[in-house]
Amino acid sequence: MKALVTGGTGFIGSHLIEFLLSQNIEVTALVRNLNNLKWIKGFDIQFIEGDLFSVPPLPADTEYVFHAAGLTKTSKTADYYTVNQQGTASFFAALRLQKIHPKRVIYLSSIAASGPSSEGKPVRESAPPQPITHYGKSKLLGELEALKFKDIFPLVILRISAVYGPRDPDVLNYIKFIKRGFLPSLGSKQRRLSLCYVKDVTRALHLSSRKDVQSGEIFNIADQNPYSWDDIGENAGRRLGKKLRKVNVPFFLVFLAALVVDLMNKIRRSPNIFGRDKFKDMKQSAWIADTRKASEMLSFRSQYSLEKGVQETVDWYLENNWL
C-alpha cells in the first residue's frame, strides 16, 4: 500500500504518518520546505517539496491520498480561504491533471464546518451546515471543492472534532493554567464539546481509506461522549498532582482578551489560535457531533478514554519540557 500525505509536518499529519508506517505502508509526504520537516524529520518516507498551488510530479502508483494540509490559525482572515478552499481546489486539480488514480482520497475537514449544536443536540452529517467562524466557513468551502471531484476520485470527507494529544500547541496553553493550580471556567455554565484523541483520529483516517463506502460520504469523527473543559482540566490536574482552584472568567474579559490578541497578531504578524474568531466558538453552549454514522459504516469508535488521552498528552508535555 502506498499513501500520499499533505500536511504531514503538522500535529495531526505527523501522527498519521507514524501510524501509516506502523502498518507497513509506504508514505510520500508533500512538504513546503525540506529544511523544516518538524516532527517527521528522519522518518523513513519519501519527501517531495512543493505546496498546494505548486504540486510537483507525484508518484503515479499512489493508492491512497490523505489531504490533511490546512490552516487553523492566521493573522489574516483571507488566508483561511486561500489555503482551505483554494488550496484544496488546486490540489485536487493537480491530482486529475497528473492522472493519479488513487483507490481513495480522504479530505480532513472539521466539525467547525457543521457549526455548533442547537440546544445541545448532536449534529448529524445530514444537517444543513451552519459554520460561524471564518475557519469553519473555509473548511466547508474546501469540502465543496473536494466534492466537485467525487465522480473522478473515490472521496471520503472526515469532519474531525476538537483534537488533542502530544505535539498539540493549542491545548498546551490551557494545561499551563492547570499546572499553576487554576481551573479556568468560561461563563456561568458548563459548555459541552466533542473531543478526539489524536491517535483515534489517525485510526479513523486509516479506516476511512479501507471501508467500501460511496464516494462523497461525510463522517463525523469524535469520542462517543461529549465533555467539558472542566473534565479536561480535572484530568490534567490529577495527572499533575494539583489541587485545582476553579476560576470563573466572565465573557466580557475573554472578549477583551480576544481583541488584544487579534491586535497583537496583526502587529507581530504571528498567528495565534485565540482571537475573536475563536471566541465565537467558545461562547457556544455546545459543539457535539453525532458519531453514529462513523460507527455503523466505518466501524469507528474511540479507543482512548479522556483520562488516558490526557495522561499521555500531559506526560509528553513534561517529557519534552513544554510544561
CATH number of the domain within which 145 lies: 3.40.50.720
Domain for residue 219, yes or no? yes
Identity of the amino acid at 254: V
Average pLDDT, rounded, for the chain? 92
The pLDDT score that the predictor gives to residue 76 is 86
Burial class (CB in 10 A: 0-12, 13-18, 19+), 321: exposed
Task: Report the distance separating Cα 319 and Cα 271, nearest Å.
Answer: 26
The pLDDT score that the predictor gives to residue 145 is 98
Domain for residue 259, yes or no? no
Q: In the chain, pLDDT over 90 holds for what percent of residues? A: 81
The pLDDT score that the predictor gives to residue 281 is 73
- Please work out, in degrees rounded to the nearest 5, the angle formed at the alpha carbon of residue 93 by the alpha carbons of 163 and 41: 45
Domain for residue 53, yes or no? yes
Domain for residue 311, yes or no? no
More confident residue, 124 or 275: 124
C-alpha cell at 7: 500536511
The pLDDT score that the predictor gives to residue 125 is 98
Q: In the chain, pLDDT over 70 holds for what percent of residues? A: 91
Identity of the amino acid at 236: A
Phi, psi of 228 (to 5 degrees): -115, 165
189 band by pLDDT with thresholds 50, 70 and 90: confident
Cα–Cα nearest to 62, from 102, 13, 16, 29: 102
The pLDDT score that the predictor gives to residue 267 is 67
pLDDT tens-digit map of 85-122: 999 999 999 999 999 999 999 999 999 999 999 877 99
* Whether residue 201 has pLDDT greater than 70: yes
Strand stretches in 174-276, DSSP E: 182-186, 192-193, 195-197, 217-221, 227-228, 245-249
pLDDT tens-digit map of 233-248: 999 999 999 999 998 8
- pTM exceeds cut of 0.85: yes
Domain for residue 238, yes or no? no
- Element spanning 271, H or E: none
50 band by pLDDT with thresholds 50, 70 and 90: very high
Q: How many domains does the chain have?
A: 1
* Whether residue 305 has pLDDT greater than 80: yes
Residue 101 near residue 4 (C-beta atoms within 8 A): no
Task: Report the distance separating Cα 290 and Cα 194, nearest Å.
Answer: 9
Which residues form the domain of 22? 2-167+196-224+288-303
Q: Which region, left, alpha or beta, applies to residue 35 given φ > 0 means left and ψ of -120 to 50 means alpha?
A: alpha
* Whether residue 173 has pLDDT greater than 90: no
* Whether residue 266 has pLDDT greater than 70: no
Say which DSSP state 270 is in: -
Domain for residue 68, yes or no? yes
Phi, psi of 87 (to 5 degrees): -65, -40
Domain for residue 115, yes or no? yes
Burial class (CB in 10 A: 0-12, 13-18, 19+), 323: middle
The pLDDT score that the predictor gives to residue 279 is 67
The label of the residue with cell 482572515 reads: 77
The pLDDT score that the predictor gives to residue 245 is 93
Residue 174 near residue 229 (C-beta atoms within 8 A): yes
* Whether residue 312 has pLDDT greater than 70: yes
* 3-class secondary-structure state, position 315: helix
Phi, psi of 242 (to 5 degrees): -110, 135
The pLDDT score that the predictor gives to residue 269 is 66
* Whether residue 20 has pLDDT greater than 80: yes
Domain for residue 65, yes or no? yes
The pLDDT score that the predictor gives to residue 109 is 98
